[in-house]
């Protein structure tokens, strides 16, 4: 089935239903049951990402084939983690199909706030490249593949851009609803239903408070600064904790809009939904991609939802599994 043919149950077609239900406690229970094998066999790994940075994740070795198809590295979205619903569901699917799976946590995500003193921000691409390179060296595999969701999809595509120069033998990359133009994404969150903005801000503030408790000698933000909206708190983060100097330069720093992906030398597939309430679909239609890149826009799906029916299985899992299988000739 092509993404254009994705047709969820009529009661699930609303973009907000798709987006919210995908991260809901109901789907959480289903994800945990489905991913029991993935989590039970997982081994925690801390990676030297370069420059003194440590990133952590979980490696699960498949046991269904004589030899693994390869190593699939999964990247979560902003304020998600290696245990997010979509990561567990996709990881369980790939594990069952014979892939070793590594679920990477970005800095300050999951239970990793203690590993690095400085704060996470979305321009920290070098350390993610370093972590993937460390994985390739530490766990040699017949094929190395990368799949990311939302901000993780943005990171995955930027890693793919840098993979040849970094000596990473990346076979393919899949991005689901990746952030394309951060300027437009921030504006969409501000214009859209308030619960998206408030959901992300609640999780971000909790993360920053946890970081502060672990590093009491640091003064990351004052309490009144934490009360700002997303634009205000991001601006404070940029001006105090990054070298970019302005919010605009920071947002440009992790943009993949326009022709920024035109130099891709690694096969990539991008899946998004025309009704995504968080990432404007117009951003995807303006991308200048190399001929080998694949861009698929489904009519429905919301943000990282793509739920078919009330069993809450996601077409995104099928998409990622199919593209990885194609890259290995299976």
Query: Is the CB of residue 172 less than 8 Å from the CB of residue 145?
Result: yes
Query: Is the CB of residue 102 less than 8 Å from the CB of residue 71?
Result: yes
CA distance 12 to 84: 21
Reduced to 3 states, what is the DSSP secondary structure of residue 39?
helix
Active site residue 23: no
In the set 150, 255, 269, 314, the catalytic residue is 150
Burial tier of 7 (Cβ tally within 10 Å: 0-12, 13-18, 19+): middle
In the set 197, 276, 283, 314, the catalytic residue is 276
Active site residue 150: yes
| Cα torsion angle, 201, 204, 208, 213, sign | positive
Active site residue 9: no
Query: Is the CB of residue 318 less than 8 Å from the CB of residue 294?
Result: no
CA distances to 117, 132, 207, 219 from 212, in Å: 10, 28, 9, 7
* Helix spans in 242-301 (H): 247-253, 281-285
Contacts of 235 (CB under 8 A, 6+ apart): 247
Reduced to 3 states, what is the DSSP secondary structure of residue 171?
strand
What the block records as the tokens of 164 is: 């040849």
Residues marked active site are found at 150, 276, 303
């Amino acid at each position: 089935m092509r993404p254009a043919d994705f047709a969820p149950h009529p009661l699930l077609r609303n973009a907000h239903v798709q987006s919210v239900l995908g991260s809901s406690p109901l789907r959480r229970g289903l994800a945990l049951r489905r991913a029991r094998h993935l989590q039970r066999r997982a081994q925690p790994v801390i990676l030297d990402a370069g420059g003194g940075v440590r990133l952590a994740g979980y490696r699960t070795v498949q046991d269904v084939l004589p030899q693994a198809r390869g190593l699939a590295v999964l990247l979560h979205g902003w304020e998600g983690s290696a245990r997010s619903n979509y990561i567990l569901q996709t990881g369980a699917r790939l594990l069952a199909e014979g892939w070793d799976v590594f679920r990477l946590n970005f800095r300050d995500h999951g239970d990793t706030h203690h590993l690095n003193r400085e704060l996470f921000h979305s321009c920290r691409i070098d350390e993610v490249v370093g972590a993937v390179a460390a994985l390739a060296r530490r766990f040699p595999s017949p094929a190395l593949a990368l799949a990311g969701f939302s901000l993780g999809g943005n990171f995955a595509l930027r890693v793919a851009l840098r993979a040849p120069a970094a000596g990473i033998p990346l076979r393919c990359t899949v991005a689901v609803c990746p952030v394309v133009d951060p300027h437009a994404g921030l504006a969409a969150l501000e214009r859209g239903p308030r619960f998206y903005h408030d959901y992300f801000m609640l999780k971000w503030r909790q993360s920053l408070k946890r970081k502060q408790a672990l590093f009491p000698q640091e003064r990351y933000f004052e309490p009144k600064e934490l009360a700002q909206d997303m634009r205000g708190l991001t601006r404070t983060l940029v001006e105090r904790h990054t070298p970019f100097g302005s919010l605009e330069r920071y947002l440009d720093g992790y943009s993949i809009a326009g022709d920024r992906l035109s130099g891709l030398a690694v096969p990539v597939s991008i899946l998004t939904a025309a009704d995504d309430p968080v990432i404007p679909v117009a951003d995807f239609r303006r991308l200048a991609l190399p001929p080998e890149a694949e861009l698929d826009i489904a009519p429905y799906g919301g943000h990282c939802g793509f739920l078919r029916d009330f069993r809450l299985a996601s077409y995104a899992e099928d998409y990622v599994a199919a593209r990885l299988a194609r890259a290995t000739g299976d």
